C-alpha cells in the first residue's frame, strides 16, 4: 500500500527536450554570432553576450525544471562563461582552444583516477541504477564468484570511456585552432566562433558519442557473459 502511494505522489522526472537543447546551445548562438555581429545589428561584444546567454539561460531553466543540478548543464554554463570571458577580453584564440580541450581531457583523467576510489566514474556515466539492475547484477556476481572478472571489465570500460574524452579533447582543440584565425574583437572572429559552435556537435560530439555507445555495448555484453543474465534481465524496464 505504501509503495503504491509513493508511486502516485512521486512526480515523474521531466524528460529533456533534445530540440530545445540544440536550439539554445547550438542553433541560436550560431545564428546570433554569424548574422548579428555587424555594427548594423548587435555589434561585436553585444553579439557575444547575447549568443552565450542562451546556453546559460538553458542551464538555469534546466535546474528549475528538474529541481536539481544537472552536472553536464552546469559544466556547459561554466564552459560558455569562460568562452565569453576570453572573447570579451579579446585574448588570443589559443586560450579558447586550450579551454575547449581541457574540459574533456580533465574528464578523461578523472575517469582513470577514479578507478583508485570506491566509486569509479564509470558508474556515473554507464553503470548506474537508473539504467541497470545493479542489485541483481551484484547478487549474480557473488553467487558465481566472478567479482574479480567484473572489476577487470570495469577497468577496461573506463579506459575506453577515457579514450572518448581524449578524442573529444583533441577534436575540440584542432577545431578551434583551425577555425579561429581572425583577430579577437572583430566581426570575423565572432562569425568564426559561431561556425565553431555549429560544428561542435557533428565534428566533436558525434564521434565521442559513438565511442561511448561502443563502450556501453562492450560493458553490457561483458556483464551478461560474467553474470549469466540476459540483457533484458540486467536493463531496468521502464
What integer pLDDT is reported at residue 4 of this predicted model? 46
What is the pTM assigned to this prediction? 0.76
What integer pLDDT is reported at residue 35 of this predicted model? 78
Adjacent-strand bridge partners of 132 = 235
- Write down the residue that cell numbers 546567454 correspond to: 53
Residue 161's nearest CA partner among 101, 223, 219, 224 is: 219
Task: Give 50-79 as a DSSP string.
Answer: HHHHHHHHHHHHHHHHHSS--HHHHHHHHH
Residue 140's nearest CA partner among 222, 215, 238, 216 is: 222
Query: Along the 238 residues of the chain, how does pLDDT read in single tens digits?
Result: 444 444 444 455 556 665 776 677 777 888 888 878 878 778 888 888 888 888 888 878 877 776 665 556 666 667 777 888 888 888 888 998 998 898 889 888 988 888 888 777 787 777 777 777 888 888 888 988 888 998 899 899 999 989 988 998 999 899 999 999 998 888 889 898 888 888 888 888 888 889 988 988 998 899 999 988 888 888 877 6
Domain count, the chain: 1
What integer pLDDT is reported at residue 72 of this predicted model? 61
Structural domain including 208 reads 2-234
What integer pLDDT is reported at residue 175 of this predicted model? 92
**117 is written with which cell numbers?**
576510489
* Distance in angstroms (rounded) separating the CA atoms of residues 230 and 238: 17
Give, in order, the Cα–Cα distances in Å from 130 to each of 13, 125, 126, 234. Answer: 12, 11, 10, 11
Task: Give the chain as a DSSP string.
Answer: -HHHHHHHHSPPPPPP-HHHHHIIIIIHHHHHHHHS-STTTT-HHHHHHHHHHHHHHHHHHHHHHHSS--HHHHHHHHHHHHHHHHHHTT--HHHHHHHHHHHHHHHHHHHHHGGGSSS-HHHHHTS-TTTB-HHHHHHHHHHHT-HHHHHHHHHHHHHHHHHHHHHHHHHHHHHHHHH--SPTTSHHHHHHHHHHHHHIIIIIIHHHHHHHHHHHHHHHHHHHHHH---HHHHBPP-
* Distance in angstroms (rounded) separating the CA atoms of residues 180 and 202: 18
Amino acid at each position: 500500500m505504501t509503495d503504491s502511494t509513493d508511486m502516485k505522489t512521486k512526480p515523474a522526472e521531466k524528460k529533456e527536450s533534445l530540440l530545445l537543447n540544440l536550439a539554445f546551445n547550438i542553433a541560436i548562438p550560431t545564428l546570433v554570432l554569424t548574422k548579428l555581429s555587424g555594427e548594423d545589428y548587435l555589434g561585436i561584444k553585444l553579439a557575444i553576450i547575447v549568443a552565450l546567454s542562451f546556453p546559460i539561460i538553458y542551464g538555469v531553466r534546466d535546474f528549475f525544471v528538474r529541481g536539481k543540478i544537472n552536472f553536464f548543464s552546469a559544466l556547459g554554463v561554466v564552459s560558455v562563461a569562460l568562452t565569453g570571458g576570453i572573447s570579451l577580453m579579446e585574448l588570443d584564440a589559443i586560450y579558447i582552444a586550450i579551454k575547449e580541450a581541457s574540459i574533456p581531457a580533465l574528464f578523461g583523467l578523472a575517469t582513470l583516477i577514479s578507478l583508485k576510489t570506491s566509486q569509479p566514474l564509470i558508474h556515473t556515466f554507464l553503470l548506474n541504477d537508473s539504467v541497470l539492475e545493479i542489485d541483481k547484477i551484484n547478487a549474480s556476481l557473488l553467487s558465481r564468484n566472478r567479482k574479480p572478472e567484473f572489476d577487470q571489465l570495469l577497468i577496461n570500460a573506463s579506459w575506453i570511456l577515457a579514450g572518448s574524452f581524449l578524442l573529444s579533447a583533441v577534436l575540440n582543440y584542432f577545431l578551434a585552432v583551425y577555425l579561429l584565425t581572425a583577430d579577437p574583437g572583430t566581426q570575423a572572429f565572432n562569425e568564426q566562433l559561431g561556425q565553431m559552435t555549429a560544428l561542435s556537435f557533428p565534428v566533436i560530439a558525434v564521434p565521442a558519442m559513438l565511442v561511448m555507445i561502443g563502450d556501453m555495448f562492450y560493458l553490457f555484453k561483458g556483464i551478461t557473459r560474467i553474470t549469466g543474465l540476459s540483457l533484458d534481465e540486467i536493463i531496468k524496464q521502464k
